[in-house]
Amino acid sequence: MPDLWNSPAVAKWRDALDRYEDVIERQGVTKLAERDAWYRKELPKAIVGRAKPHVTLAELVKLTEWKMSRGEWRARNLVLVNGNDAASVIATTTAALSMIPHPTKPISEIAKLDGVGPATASAVAAATAPGVYPFFDELVAAQVPGLGKVAWTLGYYAKYASALREKAEQLGKGWTPVKVERALWAQSGGKAAMH
């Protein structure tokens, strides 16, 4: 896999980002393309369209299914997420998303919900504020020099997110941490490339 991270060529980054949907399709995971389209196109509008941005329990469950379809399926986590109280999900995510743009507080707040760790919490934040928060993905983290072995902790996410924000700034106009994350994920070939 060519090293995209160290490439200053915006055209290479754009090419990787443009391949994202194709790489999603090639994963061969049932419902991944449908879930991914929902996560990228519908969920962000729903969240920011509310008087106080938040996600519902149904959205959190669907987002968790998207995350696990794209990465590792953890049935127990899905059961835990599904077991959260609907009002508690709204209250917790409303409070968390009001803390944007703090680099970690929204993530730690959302991660208080059952079955939700930094990766799932980052997916909520990334859908709400793509200019601040990238989704936390190990295939992406593995391509970022200096981060070390992936640790599913708030501290590791903070370093990861900071690196992706800096890369987005270097790439210039129109680039966000989310676009950097998707370009790197597409470049990795997704989990299908690992089999």
Both structure tokens of 15:
């090419």
Query: Average pLDDT in the 135-144 region?
Result: 95
> Is residue 110 within 8 Å of 121, Cβ to Cβ?
yes
pLDDT digit string (tens) for 90-113? 999 999 999 999 999 999 999 999
Q: How far is CA 132 from CA 9, 73, 101, 165, in A?
A: 22, 26, 7, 7
pLDDT digit string (tens) for 164-187? 999 999 999 999 999 999 999 999
Q: What is the pTM of this model?
A: 0.95
pLDDT confidence of residue 192: 64
Q: Does the pLDDT of residue 3 top 90, yes or no?
A: no
